[in-house]
Amino acid sequence: MENLLGFSSFDDMFRKLSENPAKLSVVLGLIYLTGLLCVSSIPYVYWQFFERKKHQAAVAKGQAKSAEAVQLTANASAQQPSSGMPTPEQTFQLMRTRRTIFPRDFSEERVSRQEVERMLEAANWAPTHGRSEPWRYVVLGQDGMQAFANATLEAIDRQDIDPEVARKQRGKIEKKRDNDMLKTSFMIVFGMKRQALPEKRMPEWEEIAATSCAAQNLMLMGTAMNIIGYWSSWSEVAKDDIGVKKFLGLTEEDQCLGVYYLGRSQSVGQYRNARGLCSEKVTWM
């Protein structure tokens, strides 16, 4: 069987090439070009390898770099006159200190209703397009949490889904109900009220974004008050269920954007979290 160049074997190739100088130069040219391509790609392969290493090291040092940024901000702000505001350094420190702490690490110390009200007041100052203020909260104490878990379990049973998926979802919620919730002072359900102002229908993404901004305000205020928490998506299959929405006082178009477990913890410093470099997520034009 002949190959593409028309040779049936090496012997055949050498014989034909020695008889045909034109064919010989084509073959030699091809060999030369292939070699050239391989050699010229070596620096590129090396460059890619070192770039990757550099990137991995930069990600590992992400926190340290951010700390440098804090220092830079601190130096700049030290010269600014005080206006009663926290300094940029303090603000940045607050944001970096906010950490997700899971209920297994919550302490016995409880958060008071007054403290939750203060956090909710901070949340209420989130930016909002058209002043629709679409954030809505349901604050659940122990009885409320148990009732919410049960409403969620009933909703899972109502779904027309793979029984195995339903079994897993049930297990997840039962575990939360029987463990996490008992360690939680309050659970705040983050609700998004669609078209909170009847005369203004803003795009849905703006209302979700505004509600998320409010959630961040709430978490940062908590951090400043030594209150920690965990934002959970809750049950993906149940949170859109109309029965669960009704339980939460939401209507069909509204959305539940998960729940926030509130508590206190001795483990704050033990939860580390790095971020990749900010500069890699920014394009300047």
Ligand X SMILES: Cc1cc2nc3c(=O)[nH]c(=O)nc-3n(C[C@H](O)[C@H](O)[C@H](O)COP(=O)(O)O)c2cc1C
Under the rule (CB under 6 A), what is the footprint of ligand X?
Answer: 99-100, 231-233, 258, 273
CB of 38 to ligand X, least distance (A): 44
Residue 214 C-beta: closest distance to ligand X, Å? 13
- Nearer Cβ to ligand X, position 104 or 113? 104
Q: Is 8 helix (H, G, I), strand (E, B) or coil?
A: coil
What are the distances in angstroms from CA 267 to CA 45, 98, 241, 276? Answer: 44, 12, 35, 23
CB 95, min distance to ligand X, A: 10
Q: By C-beta, is 17 or 180 nearer to ligand X? A: 180
Q: Indicate the DSSP class of residue 20.
A: -
Angstrom CA distances, 42 to 7, 45, 54, 107, stand at: 31, 5, 18, 57
DSSP one-letter code for 238: T
Kindly tell me which of 13 and 166 has the beta carbon lying closer to ligand X.
166
What's the closest the beta carbon of residue 243 comes to ligand X, in angstroms?
21
Task: List strands edge to edge, sheet with 228-232.
Answer: 135-140, 186-192, 255-263, 228-232
Phi/psi at 27 (5° precision): -65, -45
Looking at the Cβ atoms of 17 and 101, the one nearer to ligand X is 101
Minimum Å gap between C-beta 1 and ligand X is 59
